[in-house]
Chains A and B, each alone.
Chain A
């Protein structure tokens, strides 16, 4: 049995029961309280210093005139300073017993728990996450802290080895060293907390570079970790764009880089990290979770009553901006027309609007660049599609980065919309003659993150499970919403390096294994 398995005590943080009116009312109160405090300020946190630099604004994607935070962008010099502190911090933090580090992480989880509504409100505002998703983000952040705390304690107990008379064999895990964490905006709390806490739990100092679009959420996580007892030298926060990220990856004192984001950025990190500099005596490890082009296969015997709602939430929840979002459907020819008819009608019922409105199905996308990219894809695809359906309601007025959720039917395999990750509310449906043909198409993809299958044939399910290259396959359900400890998340191929966040193996890239063999024979006597 794996010693990194979570202790049985782990249980996912319960989601807010937002179907109850009083819970929704308190969420809106928390939002009003947050709004009254905006804009927040997010300076660089380097050691105990608050450092100010070139300011940039983080805005509400649904109403960009609302500034959520003024953040201060780090430059290469700030990275240098933060890594220098981290080298010191590493010595102190890495020397703390695993149980103590775990206790600190659990305290941080408790602090986040105490600020549940406030943090969800922050994710609603800063990243345009609708409430249930924003709350899920907070819960997942708490889950990561709890799960990795337990995992690190288990790892610290080492692995059992074969013992012979006269020798004592042990294998222990030690921290690797300063870890650069480069976080995305789509799970602004959870992924930042998850990547940082995995490194911290295993005794590594962290320099966290959050997404440019989500500095305030990252600061909330860092504040909780500091308040819980992570030494300031062991955790720095460097808001900013590409520059601090690049400098962090290139720094020879950094041992591990943890990244979640686009495929292009991930590949460039892998390339840069692979270069060993003259004063660097280690090989950098990169943990990367990258893009996806997630396919849902619908068999002829699928229950369309289940398929349609699951596709809606998988493709259009959070405007299709989850790594696991569905973007392509391969449906058996027998039920293709029926599915398209119902799906098209269902897409037209979707309500596009501000994330804070509980009635919203599809919020704005993250920024103007994303809005333009999605619009470019749909404009380019529309003439090639046999059918296009989009949310019929007029988009909300104002400058919000809204795009209409769009369903495209009948595009050829080689079309960019079929092959490339769009990261927006666009779903393409294609007809396939058989499930085997669908599997071939999935197999032809560069990506292998998540996938879905709707079938009521046990044999078909078995066959697709055996054939699929994806990291997470969801059968007869929506394909997003992986839970820590229940659905370890991550993919292969160009979707990532694949140690599976929230799973029993995730901590391994953050540690070095050391085996010690001691000879216990003295003068022929085993002592």
Chain B
């Protein structure tokens, strides 16, 4: 009987998934309205179809901040494009970049291109510089979470400096956010008040001691700095969200976060959260663990679980294959998408569960089907759900969600170009990968297919 009930509910949801999905597409800004996005799409599409060009562009983006002057830049660009033997487009570019007369203008244009691309993803060099953009989003009805980009942390001094920047950011945002107008949809849900200020932190940046074989060292190394940030967040009423990174650090990140949030001093706050990566085959068990913790740990503030697909797919796969391990990530896109939906449902259900620490579900995706599914399921359950997108990559989705009256939060990186390159490359990879939803969308795959049950 239970099966029947579930099947019926499933069917109901499928029809509203389609309805919500179609409505979102209808609400998306069209390419005509945003010509630059259209150009970028064409460039992206060209890169997808031309793997050698794509590799050359990625490598150029990667090396760009290390280039000292335009001629250095032109040299790198020319060399990288020249390596793409089979790409006529790249060869033309290489000839252009190598030509004595055009050297400087081409390099300048390429540098500008990368800078503009980066600026689409990165909202400012530091918190102060980013304030106008953050406030503008808020006024438009979009909440944000700020992520500080930086170099890899290899020394204690670098960890201190990252923590310090986080603290400054929390305070700067706190001061500014007091003056923002009210946005009821963004400030309250069934679980209570939602902080205006939301910062995402990386444990790998809080310590140089993360070791895949010794999670305790990383935990010990990051503990004091994360504790300090939790205190600042609590005292300023901000939300602190701990990001998830590669599989190597997942154990340490999870253990550290849950351990600190269990401490008596954080019983009353701050609002905090963690990330669940649906591309990990073990993510259902990981969610079990997070929910079990919430059942056992009384905290006054909700615990937000942000569900993402995960941004380290290539890294995880390559590393596993090189070591002879089974990759920890799904190798089949549809299985991954199914898992994302199953986890979405569990998260939405968990919000209502009678636990000492309330769960808040945040569904972060640019996959129209995944978003529509989560929204449909939440609607069916009468539950609250927050949808999250990446600045630069999910702008159109964000606009549609906004127009449809759904709670949306944009993940906004702050930092300089140099620090942002790794982030930028990851985002570009995501945007141009073969199974990218955005790519399928850009290529004009029909809506019915895009909204198909995985």
The answer to the question of B156 belonging to the interface, with a C-beta cut-off of 8 Å to chain A, is yes
Is the pair B66, A348 in contact by a Cβ cutoff of 8 Å? no
The answer to the question of A19 belonging to the interface, with a C-beta cut-off of 8 Å to chain B, is yes
CB-defined interface of A458-489 with B at 8 Å, one 1/0 digit per residue? Answer: 11000000000000000000000000000000
Cα A334 to Cα B72 in complex, Å, equals 13
Closest to A12 in B: B324
The answer to the question of A192 belonging to the interface, with a C-beta cut-off of 8 Å to chain B, is no
Closest to A19 in B: B212
Is the pair A21, B152 in contact by a Cβ cutoff of 8 Å? no
The B interface, classified by DSSP as helix, strand, loop or mixed, is: helix
Cα A18 to Cα B248 in complex, Å, equals 10
Is the pair A18, B154 in contact by a Cβ cutoff of 8 Å? no
Which residue from B66, B211, B216 sits with its C-beta under 8 Å from A303? B66
The answer to the question of A186 belonging to the interface, with a C-beta cut-off of 8 Å to chain B, is no
Cα A342 to Cα B151 in complex, Å, equals 11
Q: A303-B66, A349-B208 are in contact. Are A17 and B156 (CB under 8 A)?
A: no
Is the pair B214, A359 in contact by a Cβ cutoff of 8 Å? yes
Is the pair A359, B325 in contact by a Cβ cutoff of 8 Å? no
The answer to the question of B59 belonging to the interface, with a C-beta cut-off of 8 Å to chain A, is yes
Cα A18 to Cα B157 in complex, Å, equals 29
Is the pair A359, B217 in contact by a Cβ cutoff of 8 Å? yes
Please indicate the chain B residues that have their CB under 8 angstroms from the CB of A342 in the complex: 154-155, 158
Is the pair B213, A301 in contact by a Cβ cutoff of 8 Å? no
Interface size class of B (residues with CB under 8 A): 35 or more
Is the pair B156, A349 in contact by a Cβ cutoff of 8 Å? yes
The count of chain A contact residues (Cβ–Cβ below 8 Å) is: 37
Cα A487 to Cα B246 in complex, Å, equals 27
Closest to A301 in B: B66
Q: A303-B62, A305-B422, A346-B155 are in contact. Are A19 and B213 (CB under 8 A)?
A: yes
The answer to the question of A8 belonging to the interface, with a C-beta cut-off of 8 Å to chain B, is no
Please indicate the chain B residues that have their CB under 8 angstroms from the CB of A302 in the complex: 66
- Output the least CB separation between B318 and chain A (Å): 12
Is the pair A348, B156 in contact by a Cβ cutoff of 8 Å? yes
Please indicate the chain A residues that have their CB under 8 angstroms from the CB of B157 in the complex: 345
Which residue from B79, B83, B213 sits with its C-beta under 8 Å from A18? B213
Count contacts between A and B, CB distance < 8 Å: 90
Please indicate the chain A residues that have their CB under 8 angstroms from the CB of B63 in the complex: 301, 303, 456-457
Is the pair B66, A346 in contact by a Cβ cutoff of 8 Å? no
The answer to the question of B82 belonging to the interface, with a C-beta cut-off of 8 Å to chain A, is yes
CB-defined interface of B140-170 with A at 8 Å, one 1/0 digit per residue? Answer: 0000000000011011111000000000000
The answer to the question of B68 belonging to the interface, with a C-beta cut-off of 8 Å to chain A, is yes
Is the pair B217, A300 in contact by a Cβ cutoff of 8 Å? no
Among A12, A21, A458, chain B packs the most CB atoms within 10 A around the CB of A458
Cα A14 to Cα B322 in complex, Å, equals 9
Among B62, B66, B217, chain A packs the most CB atoms within 10 A around the CB of B66
- Output the least CB separation between B204 and chain A (Å): 11
The answer to the question of A304 belonging to the interface, with a C-beta cut-off of 8 Å to chain B, is yes
Cα A278 to Cα B355 in complex, Å, equals 90
Cα A349 to Cα B79 in complex, Å, equals 37
Cα A348 to Cα B157 in complex, Å, equals 11
The answer to the question of A358 belonging to the interface, with a C-beta cut-off of 8 Å to chain B, is yes
The answer to the question of B80 belonging to the interface, with a C-beta cut-off of 8 Å to chain A, is yes
Please indicate the chain B residues that have their CB under 8 angstroms from the CB of A12 in the complex: 324
Is the pair B217, A304 in contact by a Cβ cutoff of 8 Å? no
Cα A304 to Cα B217 in complex, Å, equals 23
The answer to the question of A351 belonging to the interface, with a C-beta cut-off of 8 Å to chain B, is yes
The answer to the question of B209 belonging to the interface, with a C-beta cut-off of 8 Å to chain A, is yes
Cα A84 to Cα B157 in complex, Å, equals 64
Is the pair A348, B155 in contact by a Cβ cutoff of 8 Å? yes
Other A-B pairs beyond A361-B211, A456-B63, 4, CB < 8 Å: A17-B323, A345-B157, A345-B158, A358-B214
A-B contact pairs, 7 of them (CB 8 A): A19-B212, A300-B68, A301-B66, A301-B67, A303-B63, A358-B211, A456-B59
Residues of A with Cβ closer than 8 Å to B? 11-15, 17-19, 21, 24, 131-132, 300-305, 308-309, 312, 334, 342, 344-346, 348-349, 351, 357-359, 361, 456-459
Closest 3 interchain pairs by CB?
A345-B155, A14-B324, A19-B212
